[in-house]
A = this chain, B = another copy of it.
Amino acid sequence: MTDINSSKRGSPLSSSSLGGDRPRPAKTGGSPLFLRDEELRQAIELLFYAYRDFTGEPDVILAQRDLGRAHHRVIYFVGRYPGMTVSYLLDILKITKQSLSRVLGQLMTEGYIRQDQGQEDRRQRLLTLTEKGEELERLLTETQRKRIARAYRAAGPEAVEGFRDVMLGIISSDEDRARFENRGE
């Protein structure tokens, strides 16, 4: 049907556990756009693989506590911005109030997060991690920090700068990009 597996190009890579040859990327014709297209597709895939692996380790730890990735995100950001409001969290996560509500409710019931009434604006419920929450946050973030630290160390400071610039460019809004300014103090 196709000649994908007929090894016309390049040396046959040692057959993996998948059996047979590794599939080859589709060619987009010999057009001058080939390299550019290839480069952009690689970026797409880098994002996919990196994100998949980046979330893999925490997911295991969370599963042991009957929590999911959604809980992780909440714990992470509440740990990051102690005393943050529910609105602010919604704005970061870009999910509905309903979705957050369930997750947040569980985290409070289980004692990972505490709510305090705002002083200036008493409608606000300021979110903070409890001891237990901080402990879990450290555990989860530690795996991700290690992964990033390893990648940063291997790639070097210049690469880190480039990584940061490209990632900022991928983000849609100025508002979100602004979260990365003036942080070193």
Contacts and interface: CB of A to CB of B under 8 A. Distances in A.
Interface of A: 1-2, 4-5, 9-10, 13, 16-20, 22-26, 35-54, 56, 73, 76, 79-85, 87-88, 91, 94, 116-121, 124, 126, 128, 141, 144-145, 147-152, 154-156, 158-173, 175-176, 178-180, 182-185
20 contacts: A10-B185, A18-B85, A20-B120, A37-B145, A40-B152, A45-B179, A46-B171, A48-B73, A49-B176, A50-B167, A53-B173, A151-B167, A151-B168, A152-B169, A155-B162, A155-B165, A159-B161, A160-B162, A162-B163, A163-B165
A26 B151 contact: no
Tallying the copies of this chain within the complex gives: 2
Nearest to A38: B183
B80 A19 contact: no
A121 B18 CA distance: 13
Contact of A81 (B26, B54, B167): B26
A85 B20 contact: yes
A84 B2 CA distance: 10
